[in-house]
Amino acid sequence: MKILSAEQIREADQYTIKYEPIVSSELMERAASKCSEWLRKKYDIHYSYQIFCGVGNNGGDGLAIARQLFQKGFDVKVYQVAFSSKKSPDFILNEKRIQDMDIPYKIIKRPSEFPPIKQQKNIVIDTLFGSGLNRPARGLAADMISYLNQESRHTISIDLPSGLFPEDNSENDMDFVIKARHTLTFELPKLALLFPENGPFVGQWHLLPIGLHPRFISEAETNYHFLTLEEIKPLLQKRKKYTHKGSFGHVKIVAGSRGKMGAAILATKAALRSGAGLVTAHIPGCGLESMQTSTPEAMVEENSGTNILQESSVETTGYSLGIGPGIGKDHSTKNFLRALLKNCKSPAVLDADALNIIAEDESCQKLIPALSILTPHPKEFQRIAGEYKGDLEKLQKQKDLARKLNCIVVLKGAHTSICMPDGRIYFNSTGNPGMATGGSGDVLTGLIAGLLAQGYSPENTALIAVFLHGMAGDYAAAEESVESLIASDLIHQFGKVFRNLIDS
Ligand SMILES: NC(=O)C1=CN([C@@H]2O[C@H](COP(=O)(O)OP(=O)(O)OC[C@H]3O[C@@H](n4cnc5c(N)ncnc54)[C@H](O)[C@@H]3O)[C@@H](O)[C@H]2O)[C@@H](O)CC1
Ligand SMILES: Nc1ncnc2c1ncn2[C@@H]1O[C@H](COP(=O)(O)OP(=O)(O)O)[C@@H](O)[C@H]1O
Ligand SMILES: [K+]
């Protein structure tokens, strides 16, 4: 699914109006009815609504939502926040409709007119600004936003939390952005909804399709995508009858040190459960017994080091390598990694301490095979890419790094972003906070290495693995809870994930 800019979304609205064709007020009516349906599904008739409208089309949405809820018998109060006299034509039309009905409607011109916010079974609908915001909120609008943030316990924003720009908020004044519990956004996700720093404003967001013209969307150019099931399903290969273990590649997990063998075991098990034909774990001697006992399906190759990985020759030809979980940063491990990378000619997966080591050693970065997949979490990313001010700058640094190293950079977190060397970025749609638990990254490393071994391109490997990993997290959380989820649970869910994706 594409992520478009505010400008492109405006064009998509206009294109839909012209070529569907549909009059703009009808498009607004359609958008509003998606919102009121969503609200009615979630909140029963005992809930009341206080709807705060600006004077543009976002405010127009608010007026139409108010009318639709009122017609269904809900207790609705509507407020126009008169921060400007320039009302949009569709706002004026909907204002007229509301005034012709018996819906309580007040115009707020100054803060002393702010109404009390009902606390019990009451929803505040925020339609002050949507994608038309062109400067930070000031004056009456800013005061209204502060007041609602202070008084309302249950705010739902339409299209965007008012005050938030759809992409770049680096120059915004975040004191004057609505803090919503839910954001109902139209048709396509906006970049700002995917940034962790905007989480407190956006709350949980939901996509409501409003039937923008598919031709415009399919022809629109963008570097940003939202990764959904529809994109992933066609990428998956079904196993053929006359295949054998040699058909599914050989993974080598290079991982572990004393006290951190769990990382190696999790990555190895994940590689096995990803469907790789063979998996070998290259580990320090201290891990031999635990690995063989916990994971009898894997072969073990003992490093010359007892407690850490140190210089020894490792065969890399014919393997998909997953390097880094739990290896530490000992001087001898650094030398080992350098020699390993020098030797390795095909794309590998680099994670955890492998990334921390290359972060400190620029010359080592040049040894990373082209189209390798790097999987830093935000702290590891900062070590390699340097400091950044906000999430937009972080994204730019991610692009710079992917281009510089000619690698795929998977920046982990909620909505993990996957950046290709040419600058395309995919944001993941699966996963949940239950996955913020030690070892879940190691599982991802094993899964990526396992898919890579089976012949998926590095690009498709990264997309599929991140999506499946999150899906496994969602299944695990649904079966147990986000609180109790541990990394091994993810591996246990791989079976169900594959079955649902490939066989369905
Ligand atoms: N036909 C359409 O184009 C559709 C538009 N829709 C809604 O329309 C919204 C966009 O509407 P608009 O473009 O009218 O803009 P908004 O309603 O988002 O913004 C309101 C107006 O306020 C002004 N403004 C911007 N920043 C301001 C500030 N800081 N202080 C004071 N005034 C400011 C702008 O000139 C803008 O016209 C979308 O977010 C969506 O909610 C939906 O109804 C779907 C259909
Ligand atoms: N809040 C969250 N929502 C979705 N996914 C998350 C969240 N927090 C963490 N994850 C996922 O869990 C994994 C954590 O990886 P990482 O930080 O490397 O853990 P570890 O090093 O302990 O294995 C990543 O794949 C990340 O995307
Ligand atoms: K809004």
**Coil, helix or strand for 44?**
coil
Q: What is the pLDDT of residue 239?
A: 85
Q: Pseudo-torsion of CA 371, 375, 379, 382, nearest 10°?
A: 10
Residue 1: Cβ within 10 Å count: 17
Is 132 annotated as contributing to ligand binding? yes
| Spatial separation of the C-alpha atoms in residues 321 and 432, rounded to whole Å | 27
Alpha-carbon distance of 220 to 4, in angstroms, equals 8
How would you classify the pairing of strands 122-127 and 48-53?
parallel
Instruction: Choose among 199, 225, 226: nearest CA to 390.
Output: 199
Classify residue 318 by burial, with Cβ atoms within 10 Å: 0-12, 13-18, 19+. Answer: exposed
CA 141 to each of CA 22, 262, 481, 483: distance values in angstroms, whole numbers, following the listed order: 31, 53, 40, 39
Tell me which residue has tokens 């956004």.
185
Q: In this predicted structure, what is the pLDDT of residue 442? A: 98
12 lines ligand 1 (CB under 6 A): no
Tokens of 335: 């030398």
Which residues lie closer than 8 Å to 486 by C-beta, 6 or more apart?
437, 439
160: CA distance to ligand 3 center in Å? 5
126 known member of a binding site: yes
Is 163 annotated to bind ligand? no
Residue found under tokens 């070529």? 19
Residue 246: its pLDDT value, please?
Answer: 78
Ligand 2 atom nearest 469 alpha carbon:
25
Distance 159 CA to ligand 2 centre (A): 28
Is residue 213 annotated as involved in ligand binding? no
d(CA 85, CA 93): 15
Enclosing H/E stretch for 208:
strand 204-208
Q: Minimum-distance ligand to the CA of 429?
A: 2
Alpha carbon nearest to ligand 1 atom 45, residue:
28
Cα–Cα distance measured from residue 36 to residue 20, given in angstroms and rounded to the nearest whole number:
23
Of the candidates 259, 251, 268, which has an alpha carbon nearest to the alpha carbon of residue 442? 268
Hey, how many other C-beta atoms are within 10 angstroms of the C-beta on 284? 26
- Whether ligand 1 lies within 6 angstroms of the CB of 140 is answered as no
Q: Could you tell me if the CB of 28 is within 6 A of ligand 1? A: yes
Q: Round to whole Å and give the CA distance between 223 and 324.
A: 30
Q: Which residues contact 244 (CB under 8 A, 6 or more apart)?
A: 277
Would the annotation count 422 as a binding residue? no
Give the Cα separation of 2 and 4 in Å (integer).
Answer: 6
HEC per residue, 135-183: CCCCHHHHHHHHHHHHHCCCEEEECCCCCCCCCCCCCCCHHHCCCCCEE
Q: Quick check: CB of 57 below 6 Å from ligand 1?
A: yes
Q: 91 CB contacts (<8 Å, ≥6 apart)?
A: 53, 55, 56, 57, 59, 60, 63
Centre of ligand 1 to C-alpha 24, Å, is: 13
| Residue 160 marked as a ligand binder | no
Residue 86 sits at φ, ψ, to 5 deg, of: -85, 80
Residue 31: the pLDDT is 98
Nearest to 419 by CA among 395, 454, 444: 395
Position 242 scores a pLDDT of: 82
| Residue-level length of the chain | 504
Sheet holding 425-428, edge to edge: 224-227, 425-428, 417-419, 408-411, 373-374, 349-350, 320-323, 250-254, 278-283, 299-302
Span from the CA of 57 to the centroid of ligand 1 (angstroms)? 5
> Would you state the pLDDT for residue 503?
72
CA–CA separation, 309 and 258 (whole Å): 10
Rounded Cα gap, residues 180 and 172, in angstroms: 17
Centre of ligand 1 from the C-alpha of residue 429, in Å: 27
Q: Write down the H helix ranges in 1-157.
A: 6-19, 24-42, 57-71, 89-99, 139-151
| Domains located in the chain, CATH noted | 6-222 (3.40.50.10260), 249-503 (3.40.1190.20)
Residue 439 CA, closest ligand 2 atom number: 23
Sign of the torsion formed by the C-alpha atoms of 359, 362, 364 and 369: positive
Closest CA to 220 of 32, 6, 75, 374: 6
* ipTM, two decimals: 0.90
Contacts of 413 (CB under 8 A, 6+ apart): 196, 377, 378
> Residue for token digits 């997949």?
373
Ligand nearest, relative to CA of residue 58? 1
Low-confidence ranges of the chain (pLDDT < 70): 504
Pocket of ligand 2 (CB under 6 A): 352, 377, 412-414, 416, 431-433, 435-436, 438-442, 444, 469
- Distance from Cα 465 to the centre of ligand 3, integer Å: 35
